[in-house]
């Protein structure tokens, strides 16, 4: 009997060995086939380009043509994988650090194809030499800017800190161009443009996750606690993310040391990592609310999602973007780099919030291209349920769903088009030139006279906009003609068309409240820059008010986070 057992054990070991050997062989064979496929297709690509270079009727520009191929390959993977040649490395550095060498200003292209200053940053070279919103950029040193777009002009404005150049610019209302001698500096976009008190609640607007933002936020929290803050609101709306370690450090301010914040999991072992809090927290007890919207993404979703999973904050707003992918950069020959997706991240509950299945997205794009049909590209995991530390249900694959949802009215069509039209800039410039100062943001308001002036400028400018009702009516008429009903209903269509006649003044009266808000933002940013814009935005802010309501109601707050 003992001998039989030895024989059986030996047979089992042989079977296991055979199985492992087969698995290893299949794995090695699969890797060999993969390597051959890579070598084969690279050889085909190399040979194809050489044939094009030799025989194509026109001379080829290798950098341009190869870049098209690289960009197409990146787009076929996911929207975040991107190639950066040497000349674009500044863009990658700015993305990760928030720093670049330049003049410290946002520029934009007008409808007449000229490039203007849209917003100079405070205490930066552009503002210091006197460049103002609306100034038309004509020349940089001996380079004429006529015909250039804003991207091309931006590249000329950027450069090594300490280098000096001359800008020629034409100020609206003047006939003679001005000259500005300006020295580039290391520019860092403000991560925390604004923070302040709302009663006994501290409010912090965090614009992006760049180097040092966690330390800035820590200082802001300490400052507001010294002012008597009994609760905090962190505003992550329109925050597209940034550095993962900064997100972890921000969560660390409010949760115990050695708490898991996020895990990354990828194909390579090096991509698998658990990020835990490494320092003593700043405050474990102060009530927290986090504001989010559909543009809250990546690192901003890690902060809001981790604080939600740990039952440490109430999330207020609407569903977030849903970016659960992690990128890292790899160096390439000739000083280039590639930013590529290397992992997915998972919040403390174990959920991944990636909303779109990027593999399905590629399939959907191909199906739409060939058949015109649209297919669902949501992640398959969108129905899986996970649980917070206190047992509350949270879902995967949907972005971050707020604990307190706030529904907003859709932005009116006319307001959207006015916000992007030159007439708004022109009106703001005239106002700025005729008003040396304005009251503090909390006391500033657009007067009836201001609004009437703007209305007249809009009418005089010939402003028009695409009206959805007009488009829908046109589509309906075409459908009715196709199905044979149009002649019978022609009178009704004509009557409806008369009621939908374009009437700018009527629409501006209907949406006066929203347009006044637009005008106030345009004026305030010229005097108080981005901090003023944030403060103006907070007037009548529904998300902020709902967060304040929750924080000022202890029983509701505790009920939401499961205390």
Catalytic residues: 298, 309, 323
Q: Where are the beta strands (DSSP E) in 396-502?
A: 404-405
SS3 382: helix
**Do the Cβ atoms of 190 and 212 come closer than 8 Å?**
no
Q: In sequence order, which residues have a C-beta less than 8 Å from that of residue 207 and are 6 or more positions away?
A: 189, 190, 191, 192, 193, 238, 239, 530
Contact 78, 358 (CB under 8 A): yes
Neighbours of 545 (CB within 10 A): 14
Please report which helix (H) or strand (E) contains residue 291, including its range.
Answer: strand 288-292
Q: What share of the chain is helix, strand, coil (3-state, %, to 5)?
A: 45, 20, 35
Residue with tokens 């708004």: 424
Transcribe 19-82 into DSSP letters: HHHHHHHHHHHHHHHHHHHHHHHHHHHHHHHHHHHHHSSS---HHHHHHHHHHHHHHTT-TT-E
| Cβ neighbours, 10 Å, residue 551 | 24
């Amino acid at each position: 009997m003992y001998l039989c057992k030895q024989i059986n054990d030996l047979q089992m070991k042989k079977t296991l060995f055979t199985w492992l050997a087969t698995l290893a062989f299949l794995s090695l064979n699969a890797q060999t086939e993969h390597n051959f496929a890579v070598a084969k297709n690279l050889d085909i690509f190399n040979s194809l380009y050489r044939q094009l270079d030799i025989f194509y009727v026109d001379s080829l520009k290798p950098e341009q043509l190869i870049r098209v191929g690289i960009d197409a390959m990146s787009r076929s993977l996911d929207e975040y994988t991107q190639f950066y040649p040497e000349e674009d490395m500044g863009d990658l550095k700015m993305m990760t650090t928030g720093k670049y060498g330049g003049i410290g200003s946002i520029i934009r292209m007008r409808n007449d194809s000229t490039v203007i200053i849209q917003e100079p940053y405070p205490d930066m070279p552009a503002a210091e030499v006197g460049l103002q919103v609306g100034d038309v950029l004509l020349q940089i040193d001996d380079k004429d800017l006529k015909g250039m777009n804003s991207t091309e002009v931006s590249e000329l404005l950027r450069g090594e800190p300490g280098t000096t150049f001359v800008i020629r610019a034409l100020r609206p209302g003047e006939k003679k161009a001005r000259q500005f001698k300006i020295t580039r500096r290391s520019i860092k976009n403000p991560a925390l443009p604004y923070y302040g008190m709302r009663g006994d609640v501290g409010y912090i607007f965090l614009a992006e996750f760049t180097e040092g933002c966690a330390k800035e936020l820590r200082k802001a929290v300490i400052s507001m606690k010294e002012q008597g803050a009994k609760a905090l609101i962190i505003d992550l709306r329109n925050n597209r993310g940034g550095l993962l370690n900064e997100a972890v450090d921000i969560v660390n301010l409010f949760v115990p040391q050695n708490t898991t914040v996020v895990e990354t999991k990828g194909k390579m072992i090096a991509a698998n990592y658990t990020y835990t809090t490494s320092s003593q927290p700043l405050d474990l007890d102060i009530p927290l609310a986090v504001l989010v919207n559909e543009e809250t993404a990546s690192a901003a979703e890690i902060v809001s999602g981790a604080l939600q999973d740990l039952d440490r904050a109430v999330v207020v707003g609407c569903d977030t973007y849903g970016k659960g992918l992690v990128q890292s950069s790899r160096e390439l020959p000739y000083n280039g780099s590639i930013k590529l997706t290397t992992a997915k991240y998972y919040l403390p509950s174990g959920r991944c919030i990636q909303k779109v299945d990027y593999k399905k997205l590629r399939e959907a794009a191909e199906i739409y291209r060939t058949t015109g049909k649209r297919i669902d590209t949501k992640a398959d995991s969108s129905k899986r349920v996970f649980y917070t530390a206190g047992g509350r249900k949270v879902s995967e694959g949907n972005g971050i769903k707020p604990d307190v949802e706030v529904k907003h009215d859709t932005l009116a069509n006319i307001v959207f088009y006015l916000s992007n039209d030159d007439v708004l800039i022109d009106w703001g410039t005239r106002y700025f030139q005729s008003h040396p100062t304005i009251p503090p943001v909390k006391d500033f308001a657009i007067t009836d006279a201001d609004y009437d002036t703007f209305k007249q400028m809009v009418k005089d400018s010939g402003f028009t906009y695409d009206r959805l009702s007009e488009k829908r009516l046109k589509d309906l008429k075409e459908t009715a003609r196709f199905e044979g009903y149009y002649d019978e209903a022609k009178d009704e269509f004509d009557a409806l068309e008369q009621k939908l006649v374009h009437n700018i003044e009527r629409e501006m009266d209907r949406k006066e409240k929203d347009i006044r808000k637009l005008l106030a933002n345009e004026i305030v940013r010229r005097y108080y820059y981005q901090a003023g814009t944030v403060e103006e935005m907070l007037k009548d802010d529904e998300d902020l008010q709902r967060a304040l309501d929750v924080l000022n109601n202890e029983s509701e707050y505790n009920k939401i986070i499961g205390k």
